[in-house]
Amino acid sequence: MAETAPAKEPIRASEIDPKFKYELTKMHGGEKLLKCFQCGTCTSDCPIARFSDTYRPRQIIRMAQLGLKNRVLNSDTLWLCAACFTCTDRCPQGVEVASVIRVLRNLAAENGCVPQVFKEQACCILESGYAYKIPELRVKKRETQGLPPLPKGNSESVRKTLKGVKFFETAEKKGEPSGQ
């Protein structure tokens, strides 16, 4: 997945949604968003930020505080979070950083802003029960090594879950978040 970090572009007043931060604070996990004072502890302790030039949880929190709804929801970097909760544990202000990121991802998904790679991964899980397509060669190699066949995924159960979270509707959506 290509990493995009649009936050370095100049901010235009027209792209600020002043209500966005309040919407986020009403969502479960986003309540303490406004307490962030940008100390950077979350970024310095984040295992993903350590290996990425663009992924900065502090920046995501700031974009959310500033109301840069389109930027943050369209940012591919939002999807790099590994949900390890280190940031949440270390934040001196009690901001639930990982949960804010989850809230933002959910909003992004509702607006159709899901990177193609994740949509493809979901399709693969639906088809096979596996997160990626296991090459036939590897399956055959297992046989020659005397290993048992791989268990079959329960795609019907996965389909029910995805239907429950309206995955199919959101996967079809494209474009920028509305409401600005």
52, 74, 93, 128: which one binds ligand SF4 (CB under 6 A) = 93
Contact status: 37 vs ligand SF4 (CB under 6 A): yes
Smallest separation (angstroms) from ligand SF4 to the CB of 93: 4
Contact status: 67 vs ligand SF4 (CB under 6 A): no
Contact status: 114 vs ligand SF4 (CB under 6 A): no
Q: Which stretch binds ligand SF4 (CB under 6 A): 13-21, 41-49, 143-151, 163-171?
A: 41-49
Contact status: 97 vs ligand SF4 (CB under 6 A): yes
Smallest separation (angstroms) from ligand SF4 to the CB of 11: 18
Contact status: 7 vs ligand SF4 (CB under 6 A): no
User: What's the chain look like in SS3?
Assistant: CCCCCHHHCCCCHHHCCCCHHHHHHCCCCCCCHHHCCCCCHHHHHCHHHHCCCCCCHHHHHHHHHHCCHHHHHHCHHHHHCCCCCHHHHHCCCCCCHHHHHHHHHHHHHHCCCCCHHHHHHHHHHHHHCCCCCCCHHHHHHHHHCCCCCCCCCCHHHHHHHHHHCCHHHHHHCCCCCCCC
